[in-house]
Structure formats: C-alpha cells, structure tokens
Amino acid sequence: MTEPLKSPPKKNPQLRTSAPTLPPTMRSRAAMGLTAAAAEGRFMLQVCADCGTVLYPARDACSRCLSTDLHWQEVSPKGRLLAETTVRTSTNLYFRERAPWRTGTVQLDVGPVIICHVHGDVERNGRVVLWNRLDRAGQGVLIAMPEQPTPNMEDDPQLRAMTSDPKHRRVLIADARSENAAAIARALKKAGAGQVFIGEAEAWRPNPMRAVLEDIPGVQILPLDVTDTRSVAELAGEIGGKVDILINNARFLRPGGALSRGDTVFAQQEMEVNYLGLMRLAQAFGPGMCARTADGVNSAVAWVNILSAHALVSLPELGGFSASQAAALSLSQSLRAEFRASGLRVMNVFIGPTEDDWHQPLPPPKVPPEALARDLVAGLQAGLEDVYCGDVARDLIERFRAGAKVLEREMTTGQG
Amino acid sequence: MNARQSYEGVALVAPASTEYRRYSIETAHWWIATALRQALDVAGLRPADLDGLSLASFTLFPDSAVGLTQHLGLCPRWLDHIPMGGAAGIVALRRAARAVQAGDASIVACVAGDTNQIDSFRQLLSSFSRFATDAAYPYGYGGPNANFALLTDRYMQECGATREDFGRICVSQRQNALKSPRAVMKKPLSMEQYLAARPIADPIALFDCVMPCAGAEAFLVMPVEEAERRNLPYATIAGAIERHNAHAEDPIQLRGGWTMDIDELYAQAGCGPADIDLLQTYDDYPVISMMQIEDLGFCAKGEAPRFVREHDLTTTGDFPHNTSGGQLSGGQAGAAGGFIGLVEAIRQVTGTAGGTQVAGARRAMVSGFGMINYDRGLCTGAAILEGAGA
Amino acid sequence: MSTLSELTARLATGAVQVVDLTHTLDPDFPVIVLPPEFGQCAPFRIEEISAYDHRGPAWKWNNISMGEHTGTHFDAPSHWISGRDVPNGAVDEIDPAMLVGPVVVIDCSEGTAGNDDFELTPQIILDWEARHGLIPAGSWVLMRTDWSKRSGAAYLNMKDDGPHSPGPTPEAIRLLVHEREIRGFGTECIGTDAGQGAHYTPPYPAHFTLHGAGRYGLQCLRNLDLLPPTGAVLIAPPLKIKGGTGSPLRVLALVEN
C-alpha cells in the first residue's frame, strides 16, 4: 500500500527552488506512437497487419515477417513482472534527483517483453497491468501497475511524477462568470486540491455565480480579466508563485460566421478572450509556473485549456467562434513547445455544445458542467494532454481522424 | 551448410595495451595511435608495413576508420570498422584472419580504443541505439547497470545464485589484477567489502560494475611464416564463432548465442572444455561471466554458481579466469573492453603475460559479448587460441 | 487689453480656474452593458509597445484601444437613430465653435443621495431657473448627482432588471432641448439617460431627443461640485474621428473665482 501523500508544509523562502530537469526526451518517429496514445491515456502497441505479431519496442518493420504494415492498436495491457531493479544512481539528472527508481521487465500476455516503470505496490513477479502515461518530457512511457487498485495508489511518487494530479495542488480557474467554474472548483476540491483561486472580470458587473462559488470551501475569488493585460499581470504578480494548475475556462461566444455578422466586433471579442486571453495568461503565468515544475508535492504541473471541439473543424453556425478556438488550439501547441523544457503539461479539454445560454438553441447532447469537470479532473489525474469530453467531441475527433476533408464537407453542407 | 574452414596459417602477435585512465582529456584517436604504435614497436614494424586495419571505437565521432587512415598516415588495402562493443575483438579476429588467409592483406592491425572524458559516457549512452533511446533510457536511465540488474535479478531467481557467488568472480579477478601492471584497480577486494558495497541498481552493487575509463588494446594478425621470420611469439586460432540476436524468443536473456555454435567451436578446435587452460570471459558484470561459463560448456545451465564455488578462478587456481583482472578490475575502455581478454589470452599462450602468467597455458578460450541494444546483448563470439605456452 | 489677453492673465493669477471634469481612462472603469446578443462597447485597454527595452531601447509607448463611448465621452447626434440624418452629426463635422461654450449646472445631489432612480423633471428645472435665471440658449446643461463619487459595481449599479441611475424624464429633456435650445446635456452617470431609461416613452429620451435635434451629450463627468450653477465655460472637443459618433475626451471647465 502506498504511503498517503501529505499536504506540503509552507515553502521555506530561504531555499532555492529546484530547477526543472527532464527524463530523456529523444524518441524515434515510430516510438512516438506510444506518446500519441498516452496523450489520451490509451494503451496501444504496434501490431503487424500481416502476421498479427504485437511488437515492442516500436519499429519500422515486423521482426517476424518483415512487413512494414504496422499499426498502433489497443491490445491487452496485462502481463507479469519477470525481473525488477531499483535504480539508485543515474547519469541522467532527472532520475538522479528522484532515485531510488523502480523499473522492471514485464512480459505481456500478448507477447512482447517490456522494460517499464514499476509502481511501488506491484508484488515481486506479480501480475500487472501496464498503463501508458506521459512522462515529464512529454513522451509516452509504460508503468506496471498492480492488477487490482491499491489504497492511495495515485500517490506513488513514480506515478505522480507522470500525472498532473490536483491533490494538494493550488489551482487558478480563469473565469468566475463561466457556467462551469463552480462544477470545476467542486470537482477539484473533491480530488484533494489545495487552494482554488477563481478570477472574476469586471467586478463592477453583477456575477450571478458568485454566491455559489463563495459557498465552496477553500475557494477565493480574485480580480482577473483576460482581455486586460494589466489585470492579468497584476494577478500573476500576486499569486503567480502559487499556481500549480491553471485552468483557462474564459470564453466568449456569439453565433455567426463572416457574412451573417457583417462586422468584426464579436470576432474581435472572441479573439480577445479566446486567443489573446490565452496568450496573456501564458505570458503572465507561464514563466513562473515553468520555474516551479520541480517544487515538491505542490509543484506546478499543468495548464488546462477548455476548447470547443470545433477548434478542429469549423461549425459554420459558430464560424467566428470556431476560428478563435482554432487559434487557441494552435497557440496551445506552441505553448507545449515553449513549456517543454520545464515539463509543464498543456492539457486541452475539447467539448461539444455545453449547457449554457449560447447553446440553448442547439439540440442535445450537450455537456453539463459536472461532466466537463469530471473529465477535466480525471484527465489531470491521468496526466493527459488531450481530453474529448462528451459525445459530440468524441464523435468529431473520430470523424476528424477518419478523414479531415470529408468531415469539413459534412460540416459545411449542414450534414454535421 | 558448408563446413567451417580452419584458421590455420594465421598468427596473432604483438599484444599491446595502453595504460587505462579513469578520465582523459585525450581523444580516441590519441589512445588508438598509442596502442597501435606499441604493437608495431613490439613487432619491429613501421606504419607503412601495415596493409590492413580493423578498428573498433565508440568515441571517434565524427571520424570513422576511413578518416583515421588519413589521421594516422596509414594506407591499408583492407579496412574494417567493427561497431560490436564487447564482441569486437572476436569479430575482428575472425575477419582479419580470413583476410590474411585469402591474401587480401598480409599484416592487419586490430585496434580498439576509446577515450573517457567527463560526461562522455553519458553522451555515449544517450545515442547508443534506437531501441535503447526509445524503450530503455526513459525508464530510470540506469544504462547498462539497470539492464544487467534485471538480468541478474532473473538469473538469481532461476538459478539460485547469491550475491556471494557473483562476489567470488569479482574478488578473484581483483586478486589477478593485483599482479597486472595495467589494471586500474590496485587495492585488494575482500568478500566483505564486495557485499557491503554501495547499491547501484539492485541487486547490482558497486563492485559488480565496470568502471568506464580511457585506454586502447591492439594486436597484429599475419601469416605464421611472417611471424616466424620476424621471430615473434605467436598464437594461432583453433576455432572461432560469432552469433547475433540469438534466442530472441527468450523473455529475458539467461543464455547467449554461444549455445548455438559452441559444439562446432569445440569440433573445429578438436578439443573439449576440459582441454582449456584458461578462460577469458566478457565481464562487464559477473552474471554475464557466469552465463558464459555455462554456455561455453564448462558446466550445465544454472550450474555456474556452484561451479564458481567449487573452483579457484585466480591465475594459480584450477580454473584461471580473466587473468589480467578483466574489465571488472582493469576498467572498461569502451570498445577496448571487447579486446582486453583476447589480448591477454595472446600473452598467456605465448608465455608473455608476466605477473599474471598461468603456468603451462597452451590453450585459452576467449569470449565476447556486446551491444545491449534494448534489453539484452545481441552479439556473442568465442575463440580458442593456442600457443607454444609458458 | 484684449479679451483673450485678459483671460490668459486671469488664468495665470488663478482668478480663472481650470477644472478637470474627466475620469482617468482605466481598464477597470465600467462601460455600458447592453443585452449580450447586441454588440458591446469596448472597454479601455492599453498594451505596451516598448519601455526602453529590447522592443525599443530609448522610448516608451503604448497602444490603446477603446470604444467611442468609453470613459468620459462625448455623444454626437449620429450616435442615435433619431440623429442619423442631422447635418454635421458626426464628431469630425461638428462646428468647432460648438465645442467651447457656456455651462450651467443643476444640482440634483440631494435627491439622488436617497434615490438611485432619481428623475430630473421639468419642475426641478423651473425651480432652478427661479433661483438662477432662465437657462441661456446654447448652454451646456450638466446634471450634478455626485454619482461620480461612486466606483465599481455601485457606479454601474446593475440589478436583475437592469442598471439603476438618475436621469432626465422625457418631459424634462424636451423642455431643455426644444424650449431652452440648449447645446447639450451632460451627466456623471454612464449615460445621459437614466439607468432605467429604456422604460420611458420614447425609450432613452435624452439620447432620442438631444441627438434628434442635433444636440450633444457628455457622460461620465466628474467634479461637477466644483462648478458654479452658472457662469462657467465648458471646453469639450471630441477626437476628430471620421464619421465618429462620439469620442472619449478631456472635458475642462473655466471657472471664475
């Protein structure tokens, strides 16, 4: 059983904050199939289309039949731990600082032999199930887990190093006026988060959500307007050093594309909030968070964007809004590169229509705030990069992968 | 399958070893040149007399064997580069011998050497192989220590080996090393010290691991007549084998490619395990030496722990093993680690081993093992050398 | 001594004072809030271009953005549908002579102290005139409420049924525009109309009546308590925006001591 993680003591202001280090980043192109699967929390390995052999490590040709027709597929993650070691010294700084580190050799029931991380609760030579997770370098790695859940298993230091678990971490939610702010705050507190800060723009305007938010213990409402550079910089100056997870839920949405609107006023506001708002938050909070990714139990760990799945393909009825979401998605990819050296993870939660005023005329299914909050927190706990929340978002990504052009035509001919 | 042809008429001469240094500011080029010069001096040759070169090195980047010919002023008509680490010596020997037999070259220098600058071992590891980069280093980055820890863990479970059993190999090699002028390790090692050592990657502790260092090894391959004309003591090759990526279906490497070819090796040499006077195994970790003792036919699979308990592995013992101290006490100078046992074996069967000389050593077996590509070593090789003896 | 020389001399001695009636342009200053399906007035925003740094080594400057009706601002006739066809109804077309003129101040601060929805009625105007004389034609009329001493939520004072702030009744504004022929009407609140002005007939009577008659509006004024009821001069030139319906501006008053 894993020792339960304790809430960290107050930080000693006389000590230097540890500089971030990373596990090895280099991978072959083929091996990054594991990373792509880990970004969504899926366990996939290469399978030979010709002879069915499950292959590992990733390669470019089947080691049984020389076929080059290899595909990443979901296969059984179960196996047995054949051998193990505890690495106590490494020339790699990341592991050197985190030693001892348990690794082992697992033989999967489907064949391959896999050197992997080993969770502390796995018994010697025991049955295991492999989880595919992103490590702090943002690359997919496999960790052997006990077949049955064990108490506090999420607190295992090796597993926690791969996830964005909110337990004991301090979170900033950008927009207190959003319908989802309260549900997200509650789900975070339930998951053991420390302080939850919630930003509120235009305090001079009534916020019908305020009372509900103030009722959640441990929640603090602070002024933050993502369209105002000075406001963002001021809040970062005040609490930037204790934001471990930032959830950007600010969004501006109005119906219409280019012609149906006839002006760029709403489009500008969409870009101000959805795109430039993200950039302002990143410029103000990003550097501080990147500097604190090795800061112990409540190290900075994740940056969350809530994006419309129409960032992937435009919904013409919300054409202007979709464009701003595409811009935000593109910027989130840039942030992944800019945060890379620190190990700070960018998680995008893609949603379809939500239960709110602006989607009221759209037919169900819609994502209720509680479902969004649940998937968001689960994504943090699994350390994901991409979460598709709700039926519409999952449907869209599936169709997007099957054929982006076909999906585009379906959307633009009203068959979406 | 064609019958293996003999290596008769080929002489191995001029075993040369540089000193080994823990860290060096010199380059691989410098170390290789030093060993090559030493071998040529022993043989009374000038660089221009060489017409074949076989090279093994990890740290020559961006140069390869070709670049080195210009750098060192050599003009070979036969050139080889052997990126096979711990098996490089045996593989170089086999290819050079065939080149000499075929007349493609008359005097081949086989050289292996690497430098070890601060941080160069880490850099070498980080670009060692694609599978290691993709699927081994991200898991704790223990390097070969972690790989061999896993093999050792499984071997202990399967074969009942204890830490003391591995300790016997390390402690006796240290005894041998104390008689060798070149070994890096100069202090005696007791079983108590071995068992109390700092853990590195369980169950492997400090004295189970080789120490990366800088150094080079060389020997020359020439026709027997040439060696005799120059009055050089020489060894001959009674047999030699190599094998790559054997037993890929074994989930963990508990046996090596030797098992596929060992019978042919003895048949080619016309002898059996009992006729071997001394054994030089590739010893980056003691578990691998045990595996070789088994796979080369000195005992059954799983019996090596008992075997090392029942035999004295020192130069004066009943089973002299890694007589110069091996890599565990001598240090591992990169690719030279694949040469150190072979060069020492040439000395032994030519009676030139000095303080580590095994009395009456006429027939030596040398074994190589190399290239942890992912979870196991891929290259294995072995040779039986014969000489006039001490 | 010419009139202007005399003025500058008195300005120099302080016999004539310059009073600033302007709020600082600040991103936190409230702007009017319309139902969300309508376009909204952009709040004031400021982005640094450089500050003696790698973006520009020897100089500091900012880009600013805002709506025409952000902060202390001027409403031109073309701001409202009733004034869309008024000649010279855009800020760039207004006769510059209209931008400097006499101003009277009707003090409603006592009434607004206890009533957020205080209305300026014809009777209040007539009572004021009984004390100070008839409002001269061509005057700016400013409604003093001390609303500018509020800030944040209390300034906008938004409730579930919309904002609550003082303003003129339709009758009062018609009296000022049609009978007194004023130049324009100014308030300390976010609009020339009361917060609940949508519920009058016509809705937003100040906007409708003023601009329909080619008159001007001033909003978000402050320091009205420093002005005399009569006798001051107002300087209120909006930015010369092509076709502009209004503009943030610096509003100054000259007051004789």
Least confident interval from A30-39, A180-189, B94-103, B117-126: B117-126
User: What HEC string does A287-348 produce?
Assistant: HHHHHCCCCHHHCCCEEEEEEEHHHCCCCHHHHHHHHHHHHHHHHHHHHHHHHHHHCCEEEE
**Closest residue in B to A141 (Cα–Cα):** B138
pLDDT exceeds cutoff 60 at C103: yes
- Decide the pairing of beta strands A219-223 and A196-200: parallel
Q: Do B11 and B223 form a contact (C-beta atoms < 8 A)?
A: yes
CATH number of the structural domain A170-412:
3.40.50.720
Q: Do A334 and A42 form a contact (C-beta atoms < 8 A)?
A: no
What's the average model confidence in pLDDT over A180-188? 98
CA distance C209 to C173: 7
Per-residue pLDDT at B389: 61
Q: Which listed residue (C79, C164, C178, C207) is catalytic?
A: C79
Q: Do C119 and C163 form a contact (C-beta atoms < 8 A)?
A: no
pLDDT exceeds cutoff 90 at C257: no
Name the minimum distance, in Å, from the CA of B188 to any CA of chain A: 25
**How far apart, in Å, are the Cα atoms of C32 and each of C84, C162, C216?**
21, 11, 18
CA distance A7 to C15: 68
Token couple for A122:
């796995």
Dihedral angle sign, alpha carbons of residues B122, B128, B130, B135:
negative
Q: What is the pLDDT of residues A328-367, one digit of tens each?
A: 999 999 999 999 999 999 999 999 998 888 888 888 888 9
Q: Is B150 on the interface with A (CB under 8 A)?
A: yes
At B68, which helix (H) or strand (E)? helix B65-72
Token couple for A48:
């030979």
pLDDT exceeds cutoff 90 at A129: yes
Task: Tell me how many domains chain B contains.
Answer: 2
What's the average model confidence in pLDDT over A232-258? 96
Using CB atoms, pick whichever of A204, A225, A254 lies closest to residue C30.
Answer: A204
Give A72's pLDDT tier (boundaries 50, 70, 90): very high
Per-residue pLDDT at A32: 97
Query: What DSSP character marks residue C43?
Result: P
Residue B357 lies in a domain: yes
CA distance B258 to B241: 8
Q: Do B125 and B334 form a contact (C-beta atoms < 8 A)?
A: no
Whether residues B108 and B192 fall in one domain: no
Cross-strand pairs, B142: none
Whether residues B262 and B192 fall in one domain: yes
**Closest residue in A to C63 (Cα–Cα):** A229
Per-residue pLDDT at B201: 96
Mean pLDDT of chain B: 95
Instruction: Give chain C's domains with CATH numbers.
Output: 3-256 (3.50.30.50)
Using CB atoms, pick whichever of B138, B150, B200 lies closest to residue A104.
Answer: B150
Cross-strand pairs, A354: A367
Mean pLDDT of chain A: 96
Active site (annotated) includes residue C132 = no
Residue B47 lies in a domain: yes
Whether residues B78 and B93 fall in one domain: yes
Whether residues B52 and B157 fall in one domain: no
Q: Is C40 on the interface with A (CB under 8 A)?
A: yes
Exposure string of A100-131, with b = 16+ CB inside 10 Å and e = fewer, is: bbbbbbbbbebbbbbbbbbbbbbeeeebbbbb
Using CB atoms, pick whichever of C33, C39, C48 lies closest to residue A266.
Answer: C39
Q: Do B201 and A86 form a contact (C-beta atoms < 8 A)?
A: yes
Query: Which one of A177, A178, A200, A202 would you mutate to disrupt binding with C, by most C Cβ within 10 Å of its Cβ?
Result: A202
Whether residues B188 and B107 fall in one domain: no
Whether residues B239 and B290 fall in one domain: yes
Question: Going by beta carbons, is chain B in contact with chain A, meaning 3 or more pairs sit under 8 Å apart?
Answer: yes
Exposure string of C209-247, with b = 16+ CB inside 10 Å and e = fewer, is: bbbbbbbbbbbbbbbbeebebbebbbbbbbeeeeebbbb
CA distance C144 to A77: 76
Whether residues B252 and B222 fall in one domain: no
Count of all residues that appear for chain A in the document: 416
Q: Do C221 and C187 form a contact (C-beta atoms < 8 A)?
A: yes
Q: Is A5 on the interface with C (CB under 8 A)?
A: no
Whether residues B185 and B251 fall in one domain: yes
Domain CATH for B55: 3.40.47.10
CA distance C197 to C209: 13
Q: Do A22 and A37 form a contact (C-beta atoms < 8 A)?
A: no
**Residue that is last in its domain, among B229, B264, B284:** B229
Going by C-beta distance under 8 Å and a sequence separation of 6 or more, which residues neighbour residue B301?
B159, B254, B255, B294, B295
Give A415's pLDDT tier (boundaries 50, 70, 90): confident
Q: Is A230 on the interface with C (CB under 8 A)?
A: yes
Per-residue pLDDT at A416: 66
Per-residue pLDDT at B118: 85
Name the minimum distance, in Å, from the CA of A62 to any CA of chain B: 13
Give C37's pLDDT tier (boundaries 50, 70, 90): confident
pLDDT tens for each residue of chain B, 390 residues long:
678 899 999 999 999 999 999 999 999 999 999 999 999 999 999 999 999 999 999 999 999 999 999 999 999 999 999 999 999 999 999 999 999 999 999 999 999 999 999 877 777 776 789 999 999 999 998 888 999 999 999 999 999 999 999 999 999 999 999 999 888 888 999 999 999 999 999 999 999 999 999 999 999 999 999 999 999 999 999 999 999 999 999 999 999 999 999 999 999 999 999 999 999 999 999 999 999 999 999 999 999 999 999 999 999 999 999 999 999 999 999 999 999 999 999 999 999 999 999 999 999 999 999 999 999 999 999 999 999 864
Per-residue pLDDT at C72: 98
Per-residue pLDDT at B1: 61
**Residue that is last in its domain, among B195, B229, B263:** B229
CA distance B33 to B19: 13
Using a CB-CB distance cutoff of 8 angstroms, which residues of chain B are in contact with residue A119? none
- Decide the pairing of beta strands C16-20 and C252-256: antiparallel
**How far apart, in Å, are the Cα atoms of B342 and each of B13, B17, B220, B381?**
11, 11, 12, 11
Q: What is the pLDDT of residues C150-200, one digit of tens each?
A: 999 999 999 999 999 999 999 999 999 999 999 999 999 999 999 999 999
Beta-strand ranges (E) seen in B82-234 are: 108-114, 199-201, 204-205, 215-223
**Closest residue in C to A201 (Cα–Cα):** C28
Per-residue pLDDT at A112: 97
Query: What DSSP character marks residue B356?
Result: G
User: Among residues of chain C, what percentage have pLDDT more than 90?
Assistant: 96
Whether residues B182 and B220 fall in one domain: no
Whether residues B94 and B219 fall in one domain: yes
Instruction: List the 29-68 stretch of B: residues with Cβ below 8 A of A.
Output: none
Whether residues B47 and B103 fall in one domain: yes
Using CB atoms, pick whichever of C45, C151, C158 lies closest to residue A206.
Answer: C158
Whether residues B86 and B44 fall in one domain: yes
- Coil, strand or helix at C233: strand
Beta-strand ranges (E) seen in C137-227 are: 140-144, 158-159, 162-163, 167-168, 184-187, 216-219
* Nearest C-alpha neighbor of C185 from the set C225, C147, C217: C217
Per-residue pLDDT at B363: 98
ipTM above 0.95, yes or no: no
- Coil, strand or helix at B371: strand
**Closest residue in C to A262 (Cα–Cα):** C39
Token couple for C254:
């000259």
Token couple for C49:
């271009």
Per-residue pLDDT at C36: 87
Q: Do A64 and A48 form a contact (C-beta atoms < 8 A)?
A: yes
Residue-range definition of the domain harbouring residue B28: 10-119+214-229
* Nearest C-alpha neighbor of B222 from the set B237, B240, B242: B237
Using a CB-CB distance cutoff of 8 angstroms, which residues of chain B are in contact with residue A95? 140-142
Task: Write out the residue limits of the CATH 3.40.50.720 domain(s) in chain A.
Answer: 170-412
Q: What is the pLDDT of residues C62-96, one digit of tens each?
A: 999 999 999 999 999 999 999 999 999 999 999 99
- The pTM assigned to this predicted structure is 0.92
**How far apart, in Å, are the Cα atoms of B15 and each of A356, B233, C40, C54?**
83, 10, 89, 64
State CA A175 to chain mean position distance: 19
CA distance A70 to A52: 9
* Nearest C-alpha neighbor of C34 from the set C195, C222, C246: C195
CA distance A347 to A339: 12
Using a CB-CB distance cutoff of 8 angstroms, which residues of chain B are in contact with residue A87? 140-142, 145-146, 149, 201
CA distance C165 to C119: 9
- Coil, strand or helix at B279: strand
